[in-house]
Amino acid sequence: MYYMEWIQAMGRRKHKPGSWMDKVQQKTAADDAAFAQKMRAKGVRYGLDFREVDVTESRSATVDDNGAIYRKTTSCLDVCTYNDDKRGLLTLVLSVFCYALFFCAEFLVELLGQLITGRDYFGAELIPDAGFWFALIVSLVITPLLFYAFFRYLARFWRLEAFTMRRLVVRFNRDTRKVYFLRPAFLGGVKAYDWEIIDAGLPKDMPNHEGVGGMLVLVAKAEENDNPHMAFAVDGAFVGNACRDYQQLLSFWEYIRRFMEDGPDAVPEPRRRRRKWPNPLASMGTVSRLSLPGGFDLGRRLLWLRLVLTPVFVIWGLGHYASLLLCCEPRFPKAIRAASHESEARSLLALLGYNLLPPLYTAAGLWLYYAWQHDLDWRLPLQSLGWG
- Residue extents of the structural domains in the chain: 3-12+51-88+161-342, 90-158
- Contact (CB, 8 A) for 319 and 161: no
Q: Put residue 341 in one of left, alpha, beta given phi > 0 → left and psi -120 to 50 → alpha.
A: left
Write down the pTM of the prediction.
Answer: 0.90
pLDDT one-digit tens code per residue, 34-45? 887 887 787 766
Q: Per-residue DSSP letters for 228-260?
A: TT-S--EEEEEEEEEEEEHHHHHHHHHHHHHHH
Tell the burial category of 171 from Cβ atoms under 10 Å away from its Cβ (0-12, 13-18, 19+): buried
Q: Classify 213 as helix, strand or coil.
A: strand
pLDDT digits (tens, 9 = 90+) for 67-113: 999 999 999 999 999 999 999 999 999 999 999 999 999 999 999 99
* In the predicted structure, residue 361 carries a pLDDT above the cut 90: yes
**Mean pLDDT within 328-345:** 96
**C-alpha span between 378 and 128 (Å, rounded):** 48
Of 91-105, 151-165, 270-284, 301-315, minimum mean pLDDT range: 301-315
Determine contact, residues 266/79, Cβ cutoff 8 Å.
no
Residue 211 pLDDT more than 60? Answer: no
Helices (H), 61-174: 89-117, 130-149, 155-158
What's the CA gap between 269 and 277, in Å, rounded?
21
pLDDT at 183 over 60: yes
User: pLDDT of 7-16, one tens digit each?
Assistant: 999 999 999 9
Task: Give the percent of the chain with pLDDT over 90.
Answer: 70
- Predicted local distance difference test score (pLDDT) of residue 266: 96
Average pLDDT over residues 102-130: 89
- Cβ atoms of 175 and 339 within 8 Å: the answer is yes
- The amino acid sitting at 307 is L
Q: Give how far Cα 93 sits from Cα of 80, 88, 189, 291, Å.
A: 26, 9, 27, 22
Q: What pLDDT, on the 0 to 100 scale, is given for residue 35?
A: 80
Rounded Cα distance between 312 and 298, Å, is: 14
Rounded to whole angstroms, the Cα distance separating 79 from 67 reads 9
Q: Is the pLDDT of residue 349 over 80?
A: yes
DSSP conformational letter for 328: B
CA distance 53 to 197: 10
Type of residue numbered 191: K
Q: pLDDT tens across 227-264, in order?
A: 999 888 889 999 999 888 889 999 999 999 999 999 99
What average pLDDT is seen over the chain?
Answer: 90
